[in-house]
Amino acid sequence: MHAPNWKWFIEYTHPSQAHMYGIERYVYGGRTKYQYVEIFDTEFYGRCLVLDGKIQSAEYDEYIYHEILVHPALLLHPDPAKILVVGGGEGAVLREILRHPSVEQITMVDIDREVVELCKKYLGNWHQGAFDNPKVELLHMDARKYLENSKDVYDIIVVDLTEPLDDGPSYLLFTKEFYNIASERLAENGIIVMQAGSFNPHFIECHAAICNTLATTFAINRSFYAFIPSYDTSWGFAIASHKLDPVKLSADEVDKRLAERGIKELKFYDGETHLAVFSIPKDIREAKEREKRIITDNNPLITY
């Protein structure tokens, strides 16, 4: 028997659009130095992590978000060894990266130590112990400063940030200047991949602007997307590099590489899924073409 639905989390995506999630049990709520954190259990999506009022991931479908953020990039690279994760507090990005046997070192830079501690404590089904893996190095600092000062070179940079809210911690990690810095820290075959905003055609300007901005730095850049049930929307991702193009990977090649690497446990991603997520509906393609905005430090992206 379930607890009754008297308590609701209401997430507004627009002044006239909202989603109501029945809360079964409240687990945690509090303000860190950077953001307001809430963790609660729902009957429908299991445990949920909410930062600054925006749902970040839900127990029953986080596999979709985290598999799709990680595997297209790591599969595309022939031999990913050194990985940088920007953000990614839940630890599920680490979990997915660690499935690739060639990975030697993961540096995760998440500015909010308190959020990561809360995830370690309450989101065991997400990280599954990944934080304890000896390949993982965890830093709590501004990722942009880290990259500016680092001399390390990465095969893959995975950017898993909250949406750029007005007073949130992440809006300077979505700019042309940041992508330039990131590009300098990527190896020749290097790839950057990131969550990149709603894929709802009504909200596509943010995603389009991120893609435009990546294109100022990277010769190859592609949109992809997946429907995330707990977000109530299709969500966009962006992948960019100087040399490697995920659209050239066939479904068979994806399945072959997964088999070669011995990765069998994925629930969402495989060859056919690769085809699905990189095939973009016409309305979105056309909306992306119409949007010309470039995001800069002086003209940053702020979402609702």
CA dihedral 247, 248, 250, 251 (to 10 degrees): -20
The single residue among 61, 90, 96, 110 that binds a copy of itself, judged by CB under 8 A, is 61
Task: State which H helix or E strand residue 183 sits in.
Answer: helix 176-184
- Give residues 143-202 in contact with a copy of itself (rule: CB under 8 A): 199-202
Indicate which residues carry an active-site annotation. 160
Does 42 sit near a copy of itself (CB under 8 A)?
A: yes
The identity of residue 5, as a single letter, is N
| Listed ranges 101-109, 151-159, 163-171, 221-229: which one lies at the site for a copy of itself (CB under 8 A) | 221-229
Q: Rounded to the nearest whole angstrom, what is the least distance from the CB of residue 225 to a copy of itself in the complex?
A: 8
Does 262 sit near a copy of itself (CB under 8 A)?
A: no
Closest CA to 157 of 177, 181, 176, 141: 181
Does 250 sit near a copy of itself (CB under 8 A)?
A: no
Q: Rounded to the nearest whole angstrom, what is the least distance from the CB of residue 155 to a copy of itself in the complex?
A: 25
Q: Rounded to the nearest whole angstrom, what is the least distance from the CB of residue 83 to a copy of itself in the complex?
A: 23
| Residue 232, Ramachandran bin (φ over 0: left; ψ between -120 and 50: alpha; else beta) | left
DSSP state of 222: E
The single residue among 35, 47, 63, 193 that binds a copy of itself, judged by CB under 8 A, is 63
Contact of 9 with 50, CB cutoff 8 Å: yes
Sign of CA dihedral 173, 178, 184, 186: positive
**175/223 with CB nearer a copy of itself:** 223
- Strand 186-198 versus strand 154-160 pairing type: parallel
**200/241 with CB nearer a copy of itself:** 200
Q: Rounded to the nearest whole angstrom, what is the least distance from the CB of residue 2 to a copy of itself in the complex?
A: 8
- How many whole angstroms separate alpha carbon 232 and alpha carbon 276? 18
Contact of 144 with 181, CB cutoff 8 Å: yes
**42/303 with CB nearer a copy of itself:** 42
Exposure string of 116-152, with b = 16+ CB inside 10 Å and e = fewer, is bebbbebbeebbeebeebeebebeeeebbebbeeeee
Q: Rounded to the nearest whole angstrom, what is the least distance from the CB of residue 273 to a copy of itself in the complex?
A: 5
- Give residues 193-212 in contact with a copy of itself (rule: CB under 8 A): 199-202
The single residue among 113, 142, 276, 304 that binds a copy of itself, judged by CB under 8 A, is 276
Interface contacts to a copy of itself, rule CB under 8 A: 2-11, 14-26, 29, 31, 36, 38, 40, 42-44, 50, 52-53, 60-61, 63-64, 199-202, 226-227, 229, 232-234, 251, 266-270, 272-273, 275-277, 279-283, 285-286
